[in-house]
Amino acid sequence: MKSPRRNGNRSGSSRGKAPRSTSRQASEGPVNARKPWSDREVERLKELALQNTPTRVMGLKLLRSPGSIYSKAAAIGLSLKPSNQRPYG
């Protein structure tokens, strides 16, 4: 038994939907995007890494993208690998 079509629209086009927002807020990225890192932010990054904080959470706390967290950690020689994991499962 076939289910009834809605609005005769088979392709799923956006007819009848509200237009997408034109603000760039979602595509701009974090607040600190492309801004230089302050000494305070670098210290906070080191603290969070020592606490084994996930990279995504670090990004949220520092208002940076996870990619910028990885990049800065590599630039200052900071490992983001968890130190509290057993080596053999």
User: pLDDT tens-digit profile of 13-55?
Assistant: 556 665 555 544 555 678 888 899 999 999 999 999 999 999 9
The upper half-sphere exposure of residue 79, i.e. CA atoms within 13 Å in the direction of its Cβ, equals: 4
How confident is the model over 51-86, as pLDDT tens digits? 999 999 999 999 999 999 999 999 999 999 887 776
Alpha carbon distance 48, 20 (integer Å):
37
In the chain, domain spans: 55-80
Q: By 3-state DSSP, what share of the chain in percent is helix, strand and coil, each rounded to 5?
A: 40, 0, 60
Alpha carbon distance 31, 51 (integer Å):
24
